[in-house]
């Protein structure tokens, strides 16, 4: 990931905070700050498909976040001081989680459509749709995953041996 040309060229990067069964992103987040890039993380709104990408001030900033009922760390709802990526310069790159992927770039998420809805919003932003990279384990690569018409394909899937 760190040596990937799209990562190297990107200044504004959104990345998920890993759940235990996902690719661990902590070292990538540390590198984002080490390289002087801007880091944004998801804040999901429960009972909806709305998600914002909010700016982290440092890797240590993660310890100030609150744990959701899904066991995901995210900025609290009353944390209005953080920049939302689309309120500013948009995003260059989004690292995406998922449960399964196929080699055509289809992604099976957790069923709420947060990333698909967010990418639709990105497409309306002046900076346009960011490049998307899914981070996966080899075991998550399938022949095909079910898709709906509003599912947005990922540009690239990174996994061991890819």
Q: How far is CA 134 from CA 76, 78, 104, 105, 159, in A?
A: 25, 30, 12, 9, 8
User: Does residue 51 contact residue 118 with C-beta atoms inside 8 Å?
Assistant: yes
User: Among 90, 96, 113, 100, which Cα is nearest to 155's?
Assistant: 96
**Backbone CA torsion sign across 65, 26, 40, 134:** negative
Which residues lie across from 135 on neighbouring strands? 158
Binding residues: 17, 22, 107-115
User: Known binding site for ATP: residues?
Assistant: 107-115
Instruction: Report DSSP state, residue 84.
Output: B
Query: What residues form the annotated binding site for substrate?
Result: 17, 22
């Amino acid at each position: 990931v760190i040596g990937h040309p799209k990562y190297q060229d990107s200044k504004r990067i959104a990345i998920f905070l890993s759940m235990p069964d996902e690719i661990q992103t902590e070292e990538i987040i540390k590198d984002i700050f080490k390289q002087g890039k801007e880091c944004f993380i998801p804040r999901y709104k429960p009972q909806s498909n709305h998600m914002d990408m909010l700016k982290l001030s440092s890797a240590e900033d993660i310890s100030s976040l609150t744990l959701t009922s899904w066991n995901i760390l995210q900025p609290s709802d009353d944390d209005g001081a953080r920049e939302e990526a689309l309120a500013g310069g948009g995003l260059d790159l989004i690292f995406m989680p998922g449960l399964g992927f196929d080699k055509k770039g289809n992604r099976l998420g957790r069923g709420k459509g947060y990333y698909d809805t967010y990418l639709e919003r990105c497409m309306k932003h002046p900076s346009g749709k960011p490049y998307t990279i899914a981070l996966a384990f080899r075991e998550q690569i399938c022949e095909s995953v079910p898709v709906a018409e509003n599912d947005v394909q990922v540009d690239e899937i990174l996994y061991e041996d890819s």
